[in-house]
Chain A
Amino acid sequence: MKYKDYYAILGVARDAGADDIKTAYRKLARKYHPDVSKEKDAEEKFKELSEAYETLRDPEKRAAYDRLGSHRPGEEFRPPPDWGGEFRQAGGGFDGAGFDDVDLADLFASFTGRRGRARPRADAPMPGSDYEAVVRLTFEQAFAGAEVDLELAVLEWDSDGGVRRVPHRVKARIPRGVTDGEKLRVPNKGGAGVNGGPPGDLYLDIEVAEHPLFRMSGKDLYMDLPLAPWEAVLGTDVDLPTPGGSVRLTVRPGTRAGQQLRLAGRGMARGSGAPGDLYALVRIEVPTVVDDRQRALWRELAQSARFDPRAHLSQESGR
């Protein structure tokens, strides 16, 4: 079993009082709670914090943890021979190498204490646990929908109240048009119910990777459309890549930078509703290297053109 230093995780001394432990937890929870934090690895850190706090806030659990002694975080260790009487474990009790494959968090989740904890009636129907998982999709998967194989490691209680971590595999069909941050529910794919209780549900948090061309805004998509100055002035036809395949886009003469050219129905499709739109955002790119002949042509254009892009500045300042 690998040692975790719950005191170090909460940043308190081993002899810290209950109030100090609570204050330390609250301070760190505010920083790392996944619902309010944007810190990197917030979810993982918060899991560690919760695990440490759940153990140290309970005097009986804390005493049992303290009896494990002090080790380096991550160090393999074996509890003292007489340790573990307060825990229930699948298969009944711990003996000999019984701690080898056990996670400290799982172990403390099965803590019942000397007096035992109140447990539901053995024959009462109990709904299964709900599970939650993060699903990371490519942009293409989010656009078209995808089937994903999920393998979760979940805690399972047996009829004796013992706990163990078991693999839980689910194949889920993600509908097309999901967006970053969206939450989905897979009914009945959580933990199994007990004594005829209904199974729990599986909740999915969707994360969509950024795409080099397309940016999502709800069900609409945005992309940049770089044009040469002469294309913007004279107009042109452009073969534009879209998530659903290439389309020919006609750019009208006199198109300005910043204009959004809408391709109706080329955004994300969601269920039976109307699909979103794709907006091509016009950018005017200028050549940074020109030869003598081109420079001469630009000069000739500058001299003959009566166009003043800053005319409104002098009008506005003269008011």
Chain B
Amino acid sequence: MKQAADALRYDEATDIAWTELVAASGWPEAELAELVGYGVIAPRDAAAPTWTFEARTVVVARTAWRLRCDFELDPYGVSVCLGFVERIAALEDEVRRLRAQLG
């Protein structure tokens, strides 16, 4: 019988390195660095010699890559679009929370 593999959460995983983020996201390194420049993706310490990120950043970067490919956007367009996507997600969380409380 095949052994089950563990599915990992992002909020419990340890931080990830810049190289891991590049590999997992699909982005060319220079363009991903451009997104960091626009503030869409934030390193733990931007002044550190090597950047590390919250593990959840992978989800953001992969969403950004999908938006780039599917809408044929440049990195700046992605950064604007991603801001709205994240804002919608936060509002949906809020709606879900309020609905749970209201019944």
Any A CB within 8 A of the CB of B32: no
With both chains docked as a complex, state the minimum distance between the C-beta of A21 and any C-beta of chain B, in angstroms.
12
B1-43 vs A: 1/0 string, CB under 8 Å?
0111111111111000000000110100000000000000000
Any A CB within 8 A of the CB of B48: no
Contact between A33 and B70, CB atoms less than 8 A apart: yes
Tally of contact residues, A, Cβ under 8 A: 46
With both chains docked as a complex, state the minimum distance between the C-beta of B31 and any C-beta of chain A, in angstroms.
18
Contact between A175 and B9, CB atoms less than 8 A apart: yes
Contact between A186 and B101, CB atoms less than 8 A apart: no
With both chains docked as a complex, state the minimum distance between the C-beta of A173 and any C-beta of chain B, in angstroms.
4
Give Cα distance in the complex from A216 to B97, angstroms.
Answer: 8
Contact between B4 and A173, CB atoms less than 8 A apart: yes
Tally of contact residues, B, Cβ under 8 A: 36
Contacts of B59 in A (CB 8 A): 183
With both chains docked as a complex, state the minimum distance between the C-beta of B96 and any C-beta of chain A, in angstroms.
6
Contacts of B62 in A (CB 8 A): 203
Any B CB within 8 A of the CB of A224: yes
30 A-B pairs in the complex with CB atoms less than 8 angstroms apart? A29-B70, A29-B71, A33-B67, A35-B63, A36-B85, A50-B70, A171-B2, A172-B6, A173-B4, A173-B5, A173-B6, A175-B6, A175-B8, A175-B9, A181-B92, A182-B9, A184-B8, A184-B9, A186-B6, A186-B8, A187-B5, A204-B7, A215-B99, A222-B100, A222-B103, A260-B101, A279-B101, A281-B101, A281-B103, A283-B103
B interface residue numbers (CB < 8 A to A):
2-13, 23-24, 26, 58-59, 62-63, 66-67, 70-72, 81, 84-85, 88, 92-93, 96-97, 99-101, 103
